[in-house]
């Protein structure tokens, strides 16, 4: 929990510095929330963690949250969980 809060605060600071260089479009919030929903479904995380994943991806790529969100919606990038190779042949019950 503490690591999530520290990461969220660091990303928030970095995003606020970038906002001066980036002007959000008319539908930016809608796209970010849609992308967060897609990430939550793909990764099996909560919506709050999915948004954190989006923000981290934008930060690590040196781009805006809007840009990453657009790429998620366009299915250019995805956040699917990798399959567990050790799970093959195991009975899930």
In this structure, the chain runs to a length of 93
Domains annotated on the chain, with CATH? 27-80 (1.10.10.10)
Per-residue model confidence as pLDDT tens digits over 45-82: 999 999 999 999 998 999 988 899 999 999 999 988 76
Per-residue model confidence as pLDDT tens digits over 14-27: 766 655 555 555 44
* C-alpha distances out from residue 5 to 1, 2, 43, 51, 88, Å: 6, 5, 20, 13, 35
Q: What is the pTM of this model?
A: 0.63
């Amino acid at each position: 929990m503490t690591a999530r809060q520290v990461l969220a605060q660091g990303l928030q600071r970095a995003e606020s510095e970038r906002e001066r260089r980036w002007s959000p479009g008319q539908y930016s919030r809608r796209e970010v929330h849609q992308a967060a929903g897609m990430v939550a479904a793909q990764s099996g995380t909560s919506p709050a963690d999915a948004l954190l994943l989006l923000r981290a991806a934008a930060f690590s790529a040196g781009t805006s949250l809007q840009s990453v969100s657009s790429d998620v919606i366009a299915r250019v990038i995805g956040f699917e969980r990798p399959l567990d190779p050790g799970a093959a042949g195991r009975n899930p019950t």
